[in-house]
Chains A and B, each alone.
Chain A
Amino acid sequence: MSDNIDEESFAAFLDGMRRFVRERLVPAEQQVEEEDEVPDSIVMEMMNLGLFGIGIPPEYGGLGLTVAQEARLSIVLGEASAAFRFVFMPNVGLGSRSILISGTDAQKRAYLPRLATGALRACFCLTEPGSGSDAASLRTAARRDGDFYVINGSKRFISNAPRADIFVVMARTDAQSSSGAGISAIIVERGTPGLQVGPAEKKLGQRGAPIADVTFDDVRVPAENLIGGREGLGFSTAMKVLDAGRISVAASAVGMARRIIDEASRYAVQRTQFGQPIAKFQLIQAMLADSETEYLAGHALTLQAAETLSRGGDARNLAAAAKYFCSESVSRIADRAVQILGGAGYISGHPIERFYRDSRVLRIYEGTSQILQLVIARTMLKGFE
């Protein structure tokens, strides 16, 4: 990753992105909610802005942001509906990072430039019907057959699958092993016979960010699609990009919290009951103050995690704690906001009602809160054992 983006340029870019959120994304939120799709015009603008390639180095046509810069951008973009981020995030996150970290030169040259522009759209296939938190127990199998791998199995809840061109699939290449060491990452292109994407799931929130099942029925892919060219790299690669992914979710939760608090504050100042704005009631103020405090704490923790990882430090615990705290606190913040709005916060069409639903899943993907608690405790306790 590059450090050669000067702060002044980056600040000017973030400033433009704040306007992009305010002028383009926020006004389109309701349309996305109703149509369950981000309008093409916005996808085009995201391509022109280079958002598909924010984490990909400039030599492959990306912006080459550091993890810390990416977090600051995610906080800004997090203020709009999650659906917008999911347009490009799969290209930025695990999809491209696994190629970037472990891919061969040929794989990098073949895929990264098109992922960076958004010409190719990626999804990352890890979760299965039988393996979620216990990802290392996955059963999708890739059997070597001459110059090919033959993949069989099924994946569940795969973000972006309905519109992906390439599928980065975590599959077991070593049938003997039942641990992560037997898992490899393989690139499967859309249209390969035997690859099937199920219908987009109906879900609680985050409309416009489709997830679907992906099934593999004797899917034959050339052996050169094995990321890194060596078997068994898949799981360790996924572990390496985990921290950046968690920081990214934490950052989007921070942005979401900011937006929710602003919406609730605006409402509290305008809404009058008992002859005065409800913002004058200390019980309302207490809710706002709790939310603001949690937002500030999450913001600081997320930036600390991001800066640590950017400097090459060990951010495992910081990233887990940031994702855990920010996803849990944004749920509380959204819940308080519904309370502050009263009935209006429960009616479809109000952003608060939508954010209340959208925020919920942040505690589930990229490591559930419970799994993150385990990560944090395990690392902590190491020092005492």
Chain B
Amino acid sequence: MKILVPVKRVVDYNVKIRVRSDHSGVETNGVKMSMNPFDEIAVEAAIRLKEAGAAGEIIAVSAGPAAASETIRTALAMGADRGILVQSDAELQPLGVAKLLAALVRQESPDLVIMGKQAIDDDMNATGQMLAALLGWPQATFASAIAVAGPGIEVTREIDGGLETLSLPLPAVITTDLRLNEPRYASLPNIMKARKKTIDQLTPEALGVDVTPRLRTLRVEEPPRRQAGRIVGSVDELVAALRDEAKVI
């Protein structure tokens, strides 16, 4: 089984996000960037399938600026076999990325695409679904467990109030949820080995994909500052505050 794992370069989850002064977006200059945490979970899931003997080759792909090759390198250090970078400095939106991935899927013919359910920068939660639609493949989103079952694959999904288990024929698209696994930290020898693995470079043009944005960002705002708490004197006062001020009951 061949697995394609898309990985996105995002602002590190530990960085305190600051909005650019012109409200056009989030400050990324001089900010630490890392692999989207959901994508790390996807890479880990692919590696575990490989370690269990269920998968052969793992290809990590990323679309973005040249620096996104560092993110691919991280996936290679964790255990992916080779990488593909679709280099573009343009703003990439979910549909554009899904089209790029569809073009790569046609080129590489993987049996499975495992990807994060969303990226922590824009929280779109759309690319996996769009990719499945473009390819006409079955999809299982928000996976909390993946098991190879005969010729297909079984995916347990986290849904409101419980779990749902689906059986999918291959090829298929899976998007990962937080509880699927705890991704490994790359060991130093594996980081060094990853330096020697190949990363092919492509462009949207070479893949014949138009990535022109369809959406326009009007304004980005910081969330409102949290108000200081206050100690109330009685249950009645609490109920009154919740009803009249907070208007939550």
Contacts of A6 in B (CB 8 A): 192, 195
A236-268 near B? 1/0 per residue, CB < 8 Å? 000000000000000000000000000000000
Query: At the interface, yes or no: A9 with Cβ under 8 Å from chain B?
Result: yes
Query: Are the C-beta atoms of B14 and A5 separated by less than 8 Å?
Result: no
Which B residues from 178 to 197 make CB contacts under 8 A with A? 184-189, 191-192, 195
Q: Is the interface of A mostly helix, strand, loop or mixed?
A: helix
Q: Which residues of B contact A281 (CB under 8 A)?
A: none
- A138 contacts partner chain B, Cβ-Cβ < 8 Å: no
Give every chain B residue within 8 A of A125 (Cβ-Cβ). Answer: none
Which residues on A sit within 8 Å (CB–CB) of B112? none
- B114, CB-defined interface residue at 8 Å: no
List of B residues within 8 angstroms of A5 by Cβ: 188, 192
| Among A14-22, A174-182, A312-320, the stretch in contact with B | A14-22
Contact: A49 with B185, CB < 8 Å? yes
Q: Check if B185 sits within 8 Å of A16, measured CB to CB.
A: yes
Interface membership of chain B positions 188-220, coded 1 if the CB is closer than 8 angstroms to chain A and 0 otherwise: 110110010000000000000000000000000
Nearest chain B CB to A43 CB, angstrom units: 14
Q: Does B77 belong to the interface (CB within 8 Å)? A: yes
Q: Which residue of A lies closest to B32 (CB)?
A: A15
A45 an interface residue at 8 Å Cβ cutoff? yes
Instruction: Determine if A63 and B195 form an interchain contact, defined as CB atoms under 8 angstroms apart.
Output: no
Which residue of the partner chain, among A8, A19, A22, A50, contacts B187 with CB atoms under 8 Å? A50
On whether the beta carbons of A12 and B189 are closer than 8 Å, the reply is no
A-B contact pairs, 19 of them (CB 8 A): A5-B188, A5-B192, A6-B195, A9-B188, A9-B191, A9-B192, A10-B188, A12-B74, A12-B186, A12-B191, A13-B188, A16-B185, A16-B186, A16-B191, A19-B185, A45-B185, A49-B185, A50-B187, A63-B188
* CB pair A49 B192 closer than 8 Å: no
- In the complex, the answer to whether B186 meets A17 with C-beta atoms within 8 Å is no
From residue B237, how far is it (CB to closest CB) to chain A in Å?
22
A31 CB–B CB distance under 8 Å: no
**Does A48 reach chain B (CB closer than 8 Å)?**
yes
Please measure, in the bound complex, the distance between the C-alpha atom of A10 and the C-alpha atom of B188, giving whole angstroms: 7
Partner of B186, one of A8, A13, A22, A63: A13
- Size of B's binding interface in residues, CB under 8 A: 13
Residue of B185, B188, B191, B195 contacting most chain A CB atoms (<10 Å):
B188
Min CB gap A303→B, angstroms: 19
Cβ-Cβ contact count across A and B, 8 Å cutoff: 38
- Closest Cβ neighbor of A63 among chain B residues: B188
Which chain A residues numbered 2 to 48 have a C-beta less than 8 Å away from chain B? 5-6, 8-10, 12-13, 16-17, 19-20, 22, 45, 48
* Number of chain A residues close to chain B: CB under 8 A: 17
Give the shortest distance, in Å, between A44 (CB) and chain B (any CB): 11
The CA of A49 and the CA of B185, in the complex, are separated in Å by 7
Known contacts A9-B191, A12-B191; decide if A22 and B14 are in contact (CB<8 Å): yes
Q: How far is the CA of A49 from the CA of B186 in the complex (A)?
A: 7
| CB neighbours of B184 from chain A (8 A) | 45, 48
Q: Is A9 within 8 A of B195, CB to CB?
A: yes
Instruction: Please indicate the chain A residues that have their CB under 8 angstroms from the CB of B186 in the complex.
Output: 12-13, 16
User: Chain B residues with Cβ under 8 A from A16's Cβ?
Assistant: 185-186, 191
Interface string of B131-173 (1 = CB under 8 A from A): 0000000000000000000000000000000000000000000
Instruction: List B contacts of A8 (CB < 8 A).
Output: 195
Tell me which residues across on chain A come within 8 A of B192, comparing CB atoms: 5-6, 9
In the complex, how many angstroms separate the beta carbon of B190 from the nearest chain A beta carbon? 9
7 closest A-B pairs by beta carbon, nearest first, are A16-B185, A13-B188, A9-B191, A9-B192, A20-B185, A49-B187, A12-B191
Q: Which residues of A contact B14 (CB under 8 A)?
A: 22
Which chain B positions have C-beta within 8 A of A12?
73-74, 77, 186, 191
CA distance A353 to B184 in the complex (A): 31
Is the pair A63, B189 in contact by a Cβ cutoff of 8 Å?
A: yes
A50 to B14, CA, bound (A): 25
**B74 contact set on A, CB distance < 8 A:** 12
* Contact partners of B195 in chain A: CB under 8 A: 6, 8-9
**Residue of B with least CB distance to A13:** B188
**A22 to chain B: closest residue by CB:** B14
